[in-house]
Amino acid sequence: MEDLVKYLGNPRNQDAVLELLVVHARLALVPLLLGLLAALPIGWAAQRYRRLRAMVLGASNVMYTVPSLALFVILPGLLGTKILDELNVVVALAIYTAALLVRPVVDALDALPGHVLAASTAMGYRPLRRALTVELPLAVPVLAAGVRVASVSNISLVSVGALIGVGGLGQLFTEGFQNSYNPPIVVGIALTLALALVVDLLLVGTLRLLTPWQAGRPTARSAA
Amino acid sequence: MSRTWTRLFAALATGALAVGMTACGSDDPLQPADTTAPDGGTIVVGSADFTENVLLAEIYAGALRGAGANVTTKLRVGTRETLVKGLEDKSLSVVPEYTGNLLAYFDKTAEQSKPDEVYDALKDKMPDGLTVLEASEAEDSDVLVVTKETATQNNLSTVDDLGPKCGEYVLGAAGEWKQRWEAKINELYGCTFKEIRTTDAGGPVTVEALKSGQVQVANLFTTLSAIQANDFVRLEDTKRMYPAQQVVPFGRTDALNDAATDALNMVSAALDTDKLTELVSRVEVDKENAADVAADFLRDAGIPT
Amino acid sequence: MFPQLADWLTDPANWTGDGGLLQRIAEHLRYTIIAVFGAALFAVPVGLAVGHTGRGATVVVGLANAMRALPTLGVITLLSLQFGVLKVGPVLLGLGILAVPPILAGAYAGVQSVDRAAVDAAAGVGMTSWQRLWKVEVPIAMPLLLGGLRGAVLQVVATATVAAYVGLGGLGRPLLDGLRVTDYPRVAGAAVVVALLALLLDLGLAGVQRGVVPRGLRLASGPRSPRRRGPFSWGGNRLVEPADQAGIRS
């Protein structure tokens, strides 16, 4: 315990830890957005075209079995990025996020009440307008569940990047381990949890903002 | 319907703002750091993933800041192989290196082992665009160690003594050891280990493996505090398999201007093996912050930071 | 890169002998099976209990979510320093923590998904609480429970590579060692083997999942029968979070 106090009391450590936290947040959240943006059209296409569906879902499942460390390392060769570039982690995590979110997009679109869609078409909505103003908002609750899960996943995966020297709270784990010193590891775990919690709360808040018609209605989600 | 649009837009804007704030926290993550010359650019000091190298990187960084450069550090990047790639693709500007191992990296057949010879040969082998500055007297060499019991029971004090017995022993070393030294140790000492097990680079795994008897021989580094703390016995490398390992700054010629070079040479001059061992011990044993220890050293040596 | 990868994978020297892929696969499987089994010992009873009694859901779901956020590398390094480096215990515990949330969610969602009418009917014919649980709820919950197990296995197989960081074996060994010397064919090869291992285990469990649907449900089944789903579906119940269907991993 006093070790922890001594470690946190040092302003240099504080600065280093804060910087790692910022880098970690960036490396987890940017891919979240990118992955979501990628999953939307892919999932939409997969839901629409039967033949694509099985292929896309299968591919995303396979994608998910590739160990993240390997993907971080192979990407420079494939993308031509520099070996220490953060972009490698961002792209890899965006791929995982997209792979994770494709299924919720498909499920969400599957679950759209047919009569609502029919009504909007009857009112004269063109496909694109219908997609953006009717299908997307209705899909949000299911998507949000997926995004929340993907955010926790990304936050956890970024720490693995420490094994290839990429920044993030994972560096606290490798540093602490090598020096046989607990405090950095404890701080790293605590901050990872805190980050996950904060991001989750933000996402829940955004969800409430986007689906005002659900306010007050108890759902399976509200237990979580 | 327009209310939905408004809400959607508000939510996206909030999200984008949140992401933007983290993304703009420091440099643009999608743009590689500009590591060109310090008159205007940023120097990126890299380090390998063991404590002493991290400490040396912090020392270099402090001295370079004193020379007026804008400095960032990329610590615990990995092994020499990764660091060299980082230098080549300009992600890094300079890293602390060791003359002997660096020479072996560029020339596997190198036979030199005395400090001056190693340094001269190393300068010769520098690829285009990369250079080594002045070498320090401070050395940190790989060293094979055994426990006190093993040494006394088998009368081991040099690697020569170990040679014929290697077949009974398991060696614990970092993942890259096998590729670098397996053939050489056989050639020089007739040593073929029963098994070469990957533990880590002079970290707790190797120490524990040796202590607990899971390995009987371990490859550590001469400045590690764990050697003395655990009463390990260093086996003398009589045939100089491990060449002289002077600490030397290794970096890109286009990234280090005169002021930077002078600063780093001052550091090299101020360091010696005893000092280095003491500094490393402060980080490893006393758990002090490496940058703190680096700052103390620079101040005591009179190098501006 | 790909020809070198193929070369590395087809070279028998990389498979046999000390430290060869066969040994690493065996180690990897050992860690996975023990971790998932241990997690199930804890998570299945808890999930069933919460689903059956309907009490404690908030606490348990909150606990599961918190466990999901724990970074495995951090947990393993901390436990290794506390309980001894080079011991398998810390790694198994860390991987077990990773496996608990999907199994918990699967058990809970499985029991919750049971048609209330069936449970009511069971009460109506005089079954006790225990009997209702074991004779009605659990058999019907099995597919979702197994779905949770599948998700857990997937996560653990992918994450067990970190065991190598603290000096243990498994497929993380060639991955990390290759990484240190930038031997990319080795790194990619290890990754491919991990992915294949995960796929094989998943297919196996999918088969079990299909076989475990109670006969009564199978007969009454329509298009939503789990039996009709392909190998990559984990049950499709919306109460089970998407992650458990795809598996969070490290």
Q: Which residue of C has its CA nearest to B82?
A: C182
The mean pLDDT value for B175-187 works out to 90
The mean pLDDT value for C135-153 works out to 88
Q: Which residue of B has its CA nearest to C169?
A: B198
The mean pLDDT value for A104-120 works out to 86
Those of residues 11-40 in A touching chain C at CB distance below 8 A are: none
Instruction: With CA atoms as reference, report the closest residue to B301 among B59, B38, B55, B56.
Output: B59
- Which domain-ending residue is among B205, B234, B263? B234
How far, in Å, are B120, C148, C156 from residue C93 at the CA level? 52, 19, 11
Residues B110 and B46 in one domain: yes
Mean pLDDT of chain A: 86
Higher pLDDT, B33 or C211: C211
Instruction: In whole angstroms, give the CA distance from residue B141 to residue B32.
Output: 34
Instruction: In whole angstroms, give the CA distance from residue A93 to residue A95.
Output: 5
The tens digit of pLDDT for each residue in A1-27 reads 788 999 999 999 999 999 999 999 999
Residue A208, min C-alpha distance to chain B (Å): 10
The tens digit of pLDDT for each residue in B19-36 reads 555 554 444 444 444 444
Place of tokens 């005002």: A212
Q: Which residue of C has its CA nearest to A141?
A: C238
CB B43 within 8 A of CB B64: yes
How far, in Å, are A132, B280, B282, B296, C142 from residue B299 at the CA level? 62, 17, 16, 5, 68
pLDDT at residue B281, rounded to an integer: 93
Q: Which of B101, B198, B210, B215 to mutate to test the interface with C (most CBs of C within 10 A)?
A: B198
Ranges A60-74, A136-150, A176-190, B215-229: which has the least confidence:
A60-74
- The H or E element that residue A222 is part of is none
Q: Which residue of C has its CA nearest to B49?
A: C180
Place of tokens 């069971």: C122
CB B219 within 8 A of CB B143: yes
pLDDT at residue B8, rounded to an integer: 58
Residue A115: pLDDT over 80: yes
pLDDT at residue B9, rounded to an integer: 58
Would residue B269 count as lying in a domain?
yes
Instruction: With CA atoms as reference, report the closest residue to A90 among A138, A28, A151, A133.
Output: A28
Instruction: In whole angstroms, give the CA distance from residue B194 to residue B175.
Output: 16
Place of tokens 């005893």: B274
Amino acid at C233: S
The interface predicted TM-score of the complex, written ipTM, equals 0.83
Q: Quick one: residue B240, left, alpha or beta (phi over 0 = left, psi -120 to 50 = alpha)?
A: left
The mean pLDDT value for C86-106 works out to 93
- The H or E element that residue B112 is part of is none
CB C197 within 8 A of CB C157: yes
**What residues of chain C lie within 8 A of the CB of B85, using their CB?**
182
Architecture of the CATH domain C2-217+225-246: Orthogonal Bundle (1.10)
Tokens, residue A111:
């679950």
pLDDT band per the 50, 70, 90 thresholds, residue B18: low
Q: Which residue of B has its CA nearest to A13?
A: B289
Question: Of the candidates C166, C179, C181, which has its C-beta nearest B205's C-beta?
Answer: C166
The mean pLDDT value for B278-292 works out to 93
Question: Touching check for C20 and chain B: CB below 8 Å?
Answer: no
Instruction: In whole angstroms, give the CA distance from residue B135 to residue B119.
Output: 8
CB A73 within 8 A of CB C172: no
Angle at the Cα of C27 from the Cα atoms of C234 and C186, rounded to 5 degrees: 90
Instruction: With CA atoms as reference, report the closest residue to A94 among A47, A43, A151, A16.
Output: A151
Place of tokens 């017995």: B165
CB B296 within 8 A of CB A12: no
Percentage of chain C lying above the pLDDT 70 cut: 86
pLDDT band per the 50, 70, 90 thresholds, residue A215: low
- CB atoms C179 and A164 under 8 Å: yes
Tokens, residue C39:
């997690």
Residues B160 and B107 in one domain: no
Angle at the Cα of A89 from the Cα atoms of A83 and A93, rounded to 5 degrees: 150
Residue B255, min C-alpha distance to chain A (Å): 17
DSSP designation for C55: -
Q: Which of B84, B177, B208 to mutate to test the interface with C (most CBs of C within 10 A)?
A: B208
Torsion of CA A42, A45, A46, A52, to 10 degrees: -110
Highest mean pLDDT among C62-66, C112-116, C193-197: C193-197
User: Which domain covers residue B186, as residue numbers?
Assistant: 142-234
List the CATH number of the domain containing B67: 3.40.190.10
pLDDT at residue C239, rounded to an integer: 34
Amino acid at B106: F
φ/ψ (deg, to 5) at C126: 100, 15
Q: Provide the CATH number for the domain formed by A2-214 in this structure.
A: 1.10.3720.10
Highest mean pLDDT among B106-120, B145-159, C167-181: B145-159
Residue C95: pLDDT over 60: yes
Ranges B72-86, B204-218, C145-159, C227-241: which has the least confidence:
C227-241
Residue A172, min C-alpha distance to chain C (Å): 8
Question: Of the candidates B175, B195, B204, which has its C-beta nearest C180's C-beta?
Answer: B175
Torsion of CA A98, A103, A104, A107, to 10 degrees: 150
The mean pLDDT value for B34-57 works out to 79
Mean pLDDT of chain C: 83
- Using DSSP's 3-state secondary structure scheme, residue A1 falls into coil
Tokens, residue B203:
């970290």
Ranges A30-39, A127-136, A207-216, B90-99: which has the least confidence:
A207-216
Question: Touching check for A201 and chain C: CB below 8 Å?
Answer: no
Percent helix, strand, coil in chain C (nearest 5)?
Answer: 75, 0, 25
Percent helix, strand, coil in chain B (nearest 5)?
Answer: 50, 20, 35
Residue A137, min C-alpha distance to chain B (Å): 8
pLDDT at residue B262, rounded to an integer: 94
CB B97 within 8 A of CB B251: no
DSSP designation for B139: B
Residue B184: pLDDT over 60: yes
Residue C91: pLDDT over 90: yes
Torsion over CA: A121, A125, A128, A133 (sign): negative
Q: Where are the domains of chain A?
A: 2-214
Residue C232: pLDDT over 80: no
- CB atoms B198 and C167 under 8 Å: yes
Q: Which residue of A has its CA nearest to B75?
A: A165
Q: Could you give the count of Cα atoms lying within 13 Å of C181 in the half-sphere of its Cβ?
A: 16
Residue C225: pLDDT over 50: no
Question: Touching check for A186 and chain B: CB below 8 Å?
Answer: no
pLDDT band per the 50, 70, 90 thresholds, residue C201: very high
Most distant CA atoms of chain A, gap in Å: 69
Residues B187 and B215 in one domain: yes
pLDDT at residue B52, rounded to an integer: 94
Higher pLDDT, B14 or C20: C20
Residues B113 and B230 in one domain: no
How many Cβ atoms sit within 10 Å of the Cβ of residue A38? 18
Residues B146 and B225 in one domain: yes
Residue C102, min C-alpha distance to chain B (Å): 28
Q: For chain B, what is the domain count?
A: 2
The tens digit of pLDDT for each residue in A153-173 reads 899 889 988 888 887 999 999
Would residue B51 count as lying in a domain?
yes
Instruction: In whole angstroms, give the CA distance from residue C158 to residue C243.
Output: 14
The tens digit of pLDDT for each residue in B118-155 reads 999 999 999 999 999 999 999 999 999 999 999 999 99
Q: pTM score, two decimals?
A: 0.84
**What residues of chain C lie within 8 A of the CB of B287, using their CB?**
none
The tens digit of pLDDT for each residue in C52-87 reads 888 888 888 888 888 988 999 999 999 999 998 888
Residues B93 and B71 in one domain: yes
Instruction: In whole angstroms, give the CA distance from residue A93 to residue B15.
Output: 18
The mean pLDDT value for A183-212 works out to 92
Q: Quick one: residue C196, left, alpha or beta (phi over 0 = left, psi -120 to 50 = alpha)?
A: alpha
φ/ψ (deg, to 5) at B229: -60, -30
Residues B175 and B223 in one domain: yes
Residue C42: pLDDT over 70: yes
Residues B206 and B250 in one domain: no
The chains in contact with chain C, meaning 3 or more Cβ pairs closer than 8 Å, are A, B
Q: Which residue of B has its CA nearest to C84?
A: B208
Instruction: In whole angstroms, give the CA distance from residue B166 to residue B293.
Output: 39
Residue B275: pLDDT over 90: yes
Residues B149 and B278 in one domain: no
Mean pLDDT of chain B: 87
Instruction: In whole angstroms, give the CA distance from residue B223 to residue C250.
Output: 35
Question: Touching check for B32 and chain A: CB below 8 Å?
Answer: yes
- CB atoms A193 and C70 under 8 Å: yes
Question: Touching check for C177 and chain B: CB below 8 Å?
Answer: yes
The chains in contact with chain A, meaning 3 or more Cβ pairs closer than 8 Å, are B, C
pLDDT at residue B126, rounded to an integer: 94
